[in-house]
Amino acid sequence: MTTSSELQRLYGPVADDLPKVSAKIQSIAEAAEFAFLRKMLEAALAGSGKLMRPAIALAGGRLGDYDLEKLVPLAASVELLHTATLVHDDVIDEAESRRGQQTPNALFGNAASVMLGDYMFAHAADFIAQTDNPRVVRLFAKTLMTLASGELTQDITVFEYSEDVARYLDRITGKTASLFGTAAQGGAMAAGAPPELAEAMRLYGLRLGIAFQIVDDILDFTGDPEVMGKPVGSDLHGGTLTLPAILYMQQRSEDNPIRKAFEGVRRKANLDRAIREILDSGVVNQAMATAGQFGEQARAALAPLPRGEVRDTLDGLVDYVLERQN
């Protein structure tokens, strides 16, 4: 659980308003029609992360008319969309835990968890409608389609061998970065910020989201399994190729254990070998350098914003994303 002092350090001028976003999200559990649904929602919404996407949405709102009647529902919708996608991801991946906590599908079964995710998507749509801004509603509708397309792309390419970095970047843009971009742009749009500032926020969010996902994919190899709540190399064992694995594959044209594993040859043994060799090679540093490039692009996108606490906070989030350990 993130403390108020951590929120203040990370999010500066919008930190004090994030509890309102959390309360808005929790309100759907409190208003649940029956006890079992409330129990599922409480499990799905427990242990919220650092609320980075809602904070970015509120920061975008600081560029115009900072009206919390509109911005709190928008920020809550962003986080609820994100959480709903995780619920569905865990069903698809048959994951039993996330960040050290049991997943809803482990607790309540797959069928109930699919409906739970759908219920959360519906509430996210209701929240975004409370902005009374058709352009923002359309933006979120397009983002939901992009998120679903990104997830489908990942699912249909499981154990499909590819050394194409551009394809990987397209996938993580759809699956992760698009919601960062929408949070940033949507906050600015809902606040009536000038179009050039809304566009700057969109670019910032997209680039930051790509950097965030690359770092996440690196931590799948280098992170502490106890802290991450999953085994080392779980993405690769699940058939999902991420940047460290792709860079490794490009260097191993001969005797490539990932190719062998994806062809069905001693899959676990070959993937275990690949993970060891990835950690012993320089590809983790290469992947981190790529994340750094996207982080710097995010920083550069902030140039049109007026100098001040909001811009400094968004700039600081780039450093946080690149330095995080979990």
HEC letters along 179-212: HHHHHHHHHHHHCCCCHHHHHHHHHHHHHHHHHH
- What pLDDT score was predicted for residue 109? 79
Percent of the chain with pLDDT over 70: 96
Whole-number Å distance between alpha carbons of 7 and 176: 22
- pLDDT number for residue 47: 63
Neighbours of 169 (CB within 10 A): 17
Domain count along the chain: 1
What pLDDT does 101 receive? 76
Beta strands in 171-323 (DSSP E): none
State yes or no: pLDDT of 1 exceeds 60.
no
**Cα dist from 246 to 163, 192, 249, 258, whole Å:** 5, 42, 5, 10
How many other β-carbons are positioned within 10 Å of the β-carbon of residue 72? 25
Cα dihedral sign for 246, 251, 257, 259? Answer: positive
pLDDT at residue number 117: 87
Mean pLDDT of the chain: 92
Which of 38-47, 114-123, 279-288 holds the top average pLDDT? Answer: 279-288
- Rounded CA gap, 158 and 160, in Å? 5
The stretch 60-79 carries a mean pLDDT of 97
Contact 316, 10 (CB under 8 A): yes
Q: Is the pLDDT of residue 94 over 80?
A: no
Tell me the pLDDT tens digit for each residue of 125-143: 999 999 999 999 999 999 9
Q: Confirm if 45 and 79 have CB atoms less than 8 A apart.
A: no
Range list of H helices, 12-102: 18-30, 35-45, 52-61, 68-93
Lowest-pLDDT range of 27-36, 291-300, 306-315: 27-36
- pTM reported for the whole predicted model: 0.94
- Read off the pLDDT band of 48 (50, 70, 90): low
Given a cut of 60, whether residue 21 has pLDDT beyond it is yes
pLDDT band at 46 (very low <50, low <70, confident <90, very high): confident
For residue 245, give both structure tokens: 């694995």
Pick left, alpha or beta for residue 46 (phi over 0 → left; psi -120 to 50 → alpha; otherwise beta).
beta
pLDDT at 2: 64
Residue 231, pLDDT score: 83
**pLDDT of res. 216:** 95
Structure tokens that stand for 215 in this block: 């770092």
Nearest-angstrom CA–CA distance, 129 and 136: 8
For residue 37, give both structure tokens: 């649904």
H or E stretch including 98?
Answer: strand 97-98
- Please report which confidence band the pLDDT of residue 100 belongs to, taking 50, 70 and 90 as the band edges: low
Strand partners, 97: 102
Q: Residue 85 is part of a domain; what is its CATH number?
A: 1.10.600.10
Phi, psi of 102 (to 5 degrees): -65, 140
Domain that holds residue 30: 4-323
Give Cα 158 to chain centroid, integer Å. Answer: 20
* Structure-model confidence comparison of residues 306 and 97, the more confident one: 306
Please compute the mean of the pLDDT values over residues 259-278 and round it to a whole number.
Answer: 96
Residue 170, C-beta contacts closer than 8 angstroms, at least 6 positions apart: 153
pLDDT at 164 over 80: yes
50, 2 contact by CB (below 8 A): yes
